[in-house]
Amino acid sequence: MRLPRLAAALASVLAFLLVAAEPAAASPAAHADGPPSGPVKLIVDTDFGQWWDDVAALALVHTAASTGRVDILGVMSDVDNPWNAPGIDALNTWYGRPDIPIGVPSGAAVVDQTYSRPLAVRYPHAGHPVDAVGLYRRLLRSQPDHSVTILSIGALTNLAQLARTDAKLIARKVARTVIMGGEYPAASTPEWNFGLDLPATRRVVATWAPPTVYDGYEIGAHVFVGNHVCATHPASSPVRAVFDLLYGCGTSQTDGTWDPTAAYYAVAGTDRVYTLAGAGGHNTVAADGTNAWVPGERGQRYLVMTDTARLTNAIDTLIDQVPRA
Ligand SMILES: [Ca+2]
C-alpha cells in the first residue's frame, strides 16, 4: 500500500511547509535556522546534465513551489554543454513552469551530458536561454533588498563572474546563499563541484557576501533518495526518465544524494534534520582544491546532518510528488 503511506507522508511535509516559519534574516549577515516567512525567492545554479541529483533537486524545488513555499526566479546552467539549457527548460515545462528564465554560462567547464539531450529531444520546451550573469543582474535588481536565496549545486563559474561584475548588487539583494560543495570541517580530497572551476571556487569562497551556508560531501554520501520515483512518477515523467536512463527502473541508486540535501535546507531550513556549524570560522580552498574550515568569523556556516532517516524521507516525499495535470 504505497500510495496511502506516501499521501500521509506528503501531507506531513506539506503541513510543515505551510506553517509560519521564522522571519527572514533581518540583516545580510544573519543566519536563520528557518526559511524566510514568505515564499523563498530562489535562483538555482546547477551543473544539470550528467548526474541524477540535479534533476532531483529541481524536482524538490518544483514541488515546494507548488505548495507556495518557493518562487523560482530563474535557473542557471553552470557548465558548458549546449543541451543543458533546453534540458532544464524541458523539466521546468513538465512541472508547469515554462516561463522560468534560464541562464547559460560563458567560459565554463565543458562537461558531457547524459540526460540533457534525451530530455530536450523528448519533451516540449520553448525558452530562449540568456547570459547567466546578465540574468542574475536583472533578477536581483527586480527583487527587494536582502530577499533572494541562491542555491548553488554545481560549478561556481557564474557566481564568480557575478562577484567580479557587481559585488554590491549581491550584497544588497541576496539574503543567503546555499552552496553544495566541499567537505566539512575539512576535505581530504577535492570535492567535485569545487573542482569544476577551481579559480571561480576560490574567488567565491573568499569573497562572496554572507550569509553563506555550505552543504558538504559528507552529508550526501549517507543519503539515498529517489528510489521510489519509478513507482510514483508516470511513464511520461522526465524525472522517471532520468532515473531509468541512469539506473534502470527497479534498481536503486546507491551513489548518494548531494544536491537535494542543499535544496532541502534552502527550502525548509534546518527542520530538525540539520544544525548550523562553524560559527567563528570560515571556509578556505587550497590550490589543490581541498577545503578546510579555519578560525575567523565571516558569516559562513556549514550544515551538520542530525537525522538521516528524517531527511531522506522528507526529500523523497517532495521529489515523489507529481505535478497536477
Ligand atoms: Ca549538481
- On the question of pLDDT at 43 being above 90, the answer is yes
Distance separating alpha carbons of residues 191 and 182, to the nearest angstrom: 5
**What's the whole-number mean pLDDT along residues 228-255?**
93
Distance separating alpha carbons of residues 202 and 206, to the nearest angstrom: 6
How do strand 274-277 and strand 300-305 relate by DSSP bridges?
antiparallel
Q: How far is the CA of 250 from the centre of ligand 1 (A)?
A: 23
* Eight-state DSSP code of residue 80: B
**What's the whole-number mean pLDDT along residues 158-170?**
97
- Confidence band of 28 (pLDDT split at 50, 70, 90): very low
Mean pLDDT of the chain: 91
Q: How far is the CA of 153 from the centre of ligand 1 (A)?
A: 4
Strand partners, 301: 213
**What's the whole-number mean pLDDT along residues 93-109?**
97
Q: How far is the CA of 1 from the centre of ligand 1 (A)?
A: 33
Q: Rounded to two decimals, what is the model's pTM?
A: 0.91
Q: How far is the CA of 50 from the centre of ligand 1 (A)?
A: 8
Q: How far is the CA of 47 from the centre of ligand 1 (A)?
A: 5
- The residues spanned by each domain of the chain are 2-320
Q: How far is the CA of 239 from the centre of ligand 1 (A)?
A: 15
Q: How far is the CA of 53 from the centre of ligand 1 (A)?
A: 6
Distance separating alpha carbons of residues 156 and 306, to the nearest angstrom: 27
Which cell numbers in the block locate residue 239?
524525472
What is the CATH architecture of 2-320?
Alpha-Beta Complex (3.90)
The predicted structure's pLDDT at residue 199: 98
Which cell numbers in the block locate residue 295?
578560525
Model confidence over 126-158: pLDDT tens digits? 989 999 999 999 999 999 999 999 999 999 999
Q: How far is the CA of 168 from the centre of ligand 1 (A)?
A: 27
Q: How far is the CA of 259 from the centre of ligand 1 (A)?
A: 6
- Confidence band of 16 (pLDDT split at 50, 70, 90): very low
Q: How far is the CA of 59 from the centre of ligand 1 (A)?
A: 13
Q: How far is the CA of 4 from the centre of ligand 1 (A)?
A: 32
Q: How far is the CA of 40 from the centre of ligand 1 (A)?
A: 20
